[in-house]
Structure 1
Amino acid sequence: MISQPTGEAGRIEALDMLRGFSLIGIFIANMLVFHSPYLYMDPYTWFESNGEGIPFMWIDILVEASFYPIFAMLFGYGLSMQYEKSLLQKSSFGPIAVRRMVILLVFGLIHAFFIWSGDVLFTYAVMGFLMIALVRVPPKWLFFGALALYILPLGLLTGVTYLGERLMGGASLAEFADIQQITQSVEVYGHGGYWTAFLFRAKEWVLISGLNLFMTPFMILPLMMVGAALAKWKVIERAKELKGRLLVIGISTLVIGYVLKATPFLIGPDYSLQLVQTFFGGPLVAAGYVALVLLLCTVPWVTRVFRPIAKAGRMSLTTYIGQSVIATLIFYHYGFGMYGKVDLMTGTLTAVGIFVVQALLSDLWLNRFKMGPIEWVWRIGTYGTILSNKKEKRHDLS
């Protein structure tokens, strides 16, 4: 039997709502890199010296490292749903899933080299190949295996970093700032042409992807595994039934997560505390956000009012790549050349404004079409046939 893509009737709106919610958070976090040499600075001293310490603190606690875990979990959730669907249809899962990951990998390379070096699609595709096998594992093994794979190595890394800082006599690794790279970033992205930016972006991507490929088996893969386990337990589909548990999980993980994420501000920006913030505070806050969004999605008027966010989430690939295209055109010299010229609040409000427009346009687009344009290309490559993307008009026969 030939597997077919999921139709509109088979979609879960809360899943799309979570994707849309994660995309706005990811964009706000990414905006720091789009408009400034964030990768090469110590943001705690940089923004404090610029009088932007308070805005950075709120972005760091509420947003940074708390939205990509949601997207990673949803990636595993969706892949597990596709696997379960193939079992029901008695169709082949592996070959189709492999084609999906190959195409996603190609999208990632195009995105990384020609648009923005901070791409995550390539990384997701590489981890996705592993998930094709792991989605077959029972949910308890997936969930607790993911916790072990995440906590043990990242906890060890954090502990070793802490000991290293103590041996250095209290000197903080967080004081590092690569002045040469900051200057080069401003020169290339703020004043250089597209070809200059292309070469610098390629070098950046090689460095970033090299670090990512070392870290993602411990940072991203476990999150995908958790998502796959939650899909097998149908947590999103059972949100109304699980209201009490979701409320307890949402409040407790947010409180603990916010405390952990605030440690660099409460104690000091030691690098070990930044790792605690990112590795442990971020995913806990993400879990809290997921629980609270699922609770809100059980309220009918909330889903109606915020439906455009779900539509942007349904077009997540188009939305994500579109954000990179728009942001680089605003900030890079071959666009409007605003790199290094905006403050944190302006950058954040710009991200929110762009996403609002994207959500409204996604709503309009999906009134006429079945899926986003990039999703459509992805489906064509996956199933090897040109599928009509235009919705058929319904005629009133009464």
Structure 2
Amino acid sequence: MRPIEETARIDSLDMIRGISLLGIFLINMMSFHSPFMYYNPYQWWSESGESSLYMFLDIFVQASFYPLFAMVFGYGLVIQRERSLERGVSFLPLGFRRLCVLLGFGIIHAFLIWSGDILINYALFGMILLVMLRWSGKILLILGIVLFFIPQLLISGLFLLSYFVEPNQMLYFTDMKAVENAVTAYSTGSFMDIFSQRYKDWFLVNGPMNLPFLLLSILPMMMIGAGASKLNMLQRARAMKRVWVAILIVTLTIGIGIKALPFLIEANYSFAIIQDLLGGPFLSVAYAAIIVLLSMNNVMNKILRPFAKAGKMSLTIYLSQSIIGTFIFYSYGLGLYGEVTLITGAWLVVGIFLIQVILAEIWLSRFQYGPMEKLWRTLTYGSTKRRLNNEQTK
């Protein structure tokens, strides 16, 4: 058993990964430089340029790239399973070990670097997905869509009902005490102060009360990606061009319509939740369709190819974004937390990501894998390689 060879990779899949990294970084940057979870963003960024930028990010980026990355995660897991079965190796123990290593990375990332980690959830929910991978592509796709729609529609309906019954309870508010605590801890606090605040921020999002919501928003998207992978929807993209166009038209229209609700009706908690739960995943599917269709064009394929390079080093780039972001804004670095505008933060994302893409191009011209990808593979496949070598020696 060994990792997927370079020639076996799917370029459009890596392009989706790379573009997802940019979208995720744009949203993460707000949490890197400000207490995003504790203030009303519709009022916090009140200047004209910043409010316009936040509206763009809220509609087109927020909650649209994590689901996309989850679908890619499921798609890639199926490819790894198929490669394993082709070589006569059971994938379940290997996949479980691979996800355990990812879980370890996530724990280190969440509690020692940045609270907004996604690796822990991807690893845990990926373990559930492992036992489903024997199902057919149609079952995975249909069940994933059902598990996504029914809970999200019910939750959205409850929030919508709450808005009509008690609209004042659904108003956004800024918790100034929490804002002050976060700014103090991250900008001037000791490492232990930062650790304590980091844990509070992580628990607020990932605590037991939110775990079912995270499960029902991430796992179904992984299942949809896995189902699409079993149906070879990327490999057969040209033959399925009409299907991809139809997917784009439907999901883009619905996604933008739902994502714009806070600006079309009222910027309150109800519409913000509905916007993220329903609008984000719709728009993520639309983005996948856009990338797949663009990659069919030779000129656009060349333009998007640098994103594919970044996608091949997705773990390295994702983790390095957190390291760079926290170093710029936390007290053990430059200590600029709470001092940066939304516009400046967005330009930082563009500059840092551009450098990351260039470095990925240079690195992959000399090495087959990124540094974290190499470590992940070594920890996952190392014991298997040693066992095979021992058997061959005997």
Question: TM > 0.5 between the two?
Answer: yes
The correspondence of residues 257-272 of structure 1 with structure 2, limited to 5 A, is 257-272=255-270
Counterpart of 1:189 in structure 2 is: 186
Q: What percent of counterpart residues are identical? A: 44
Counterpart of 1:394 in structure 2 is: none
Shift of 1:302: 2.4
Counterpart of 1:313 in structure 2 is: 311
Counterpart of 1:224 in structure 2 is: 222
Counterpart of 2:64 in structure 1 is: 66
Q: Does 1:33 align with 2:34?
A: no
The correspondence of residues 240-389 of structure 1 with structure 2, limited to 5 A, is 240-385=238-383
> CA RMSD of the aligned region, Å?
1.6
Shift of 1:366: 0.6
Deviations 1:165-191 (A, max 9, x none): 3222x2142323221111101111122
Shift of 1:255: 2.1
Q: Which moved further from structure 2: 223-232 or 351-360?
A: 351-360
Deviations 1:69-118 (A, max 9, x none): 11000000001111222222221101100101110000000001111000
| Distance (whole Å) between structure 1 residues aligned to residue 108 and residue 32 of structure 2 | 18
TM-score, with structure 2 as normaliser = 0.94
The equivalent position to 1:179 in structure 2, one of 173, 176, 181, is 176
The correspondence of residues 230-241 of structure 1 with structure 2, limited to 5 A, is 230-241=228-239
Q: Which moved further from structure 2: 96-105 or 176-185?
A: 176-185
Gaps of 5+ in 1: 388-398
The correspondence of residues 60-139 of structure 1 with structure 2, limited to 5 A, is 60-139=58-137
Asked whether the 8 Å contact 1:42–1:174 carries over to 2, the reply is no
Equivalenced residue count is: 384
- The 1:162/1:338 distance shift into structure 2, 3 A limit, reads same
| Distance (whole Å) between structure 2 residues aligned to residue 223 and residue 115 of structure 1 | 26
| Distance (whole Å) between structure 1 residues aligned to residue 16 and residue 262 of structure 2 | 28
Deviations 1:129-186 (A, max 9, x none): 1011011111222112112211112211121222223222x21423232211111011
Counterpart of 2:7 in structure 1 is: 9
| Distance (whole Å) between structure 2 residues aligned to residue 82 and residue 68 of structure 1 | 21
Structure 2 counterpart SS, 1:238? coil
| Distance (whole Å) between structure 1 residues aligned to residue 173 and residue 154 of structure 2 | 22
- The 1:386/1:188 distance shift into structure 2, 3 A limit, reads farther
Q: Aligned AA for 2:184?
A: E
Q: Does 1:209 align with 2:206?
A: yes
Q: Aligned AA for 2:177?
A: Q
Asked whether the 8 Å contact 2:188–2:335 carries over to 1, the reply is yes
Q: Aligned AA for 1:191?
A: T
Q: Aligned AA for 1:361?
A: L
Gaps of 5+ in 2: 386-394
Asked whether the 8 Å contact 1:263–1:277 carries over to 2, the reply is yes
Deviations 1:315-362 (A, max 9, x none): 100010000000111111211111111111111111111111101100
The equivalent position to 1:199 in structure 2, one of 196, 202, 206, is 196
Deviations 1:51-83 (A, max 9, x none): 732111011011111111110000000011112
| Distance (whole Å) between structure 1 residues aligned to residue 156 and residue 47 of structure 2 | 27
Structure 2 counterpart SS, 1:134? coil
Counterpart of 2:389 in structure 1 is: none
Shift of 1:246: 1.6
Shift of 1:199: 2.0
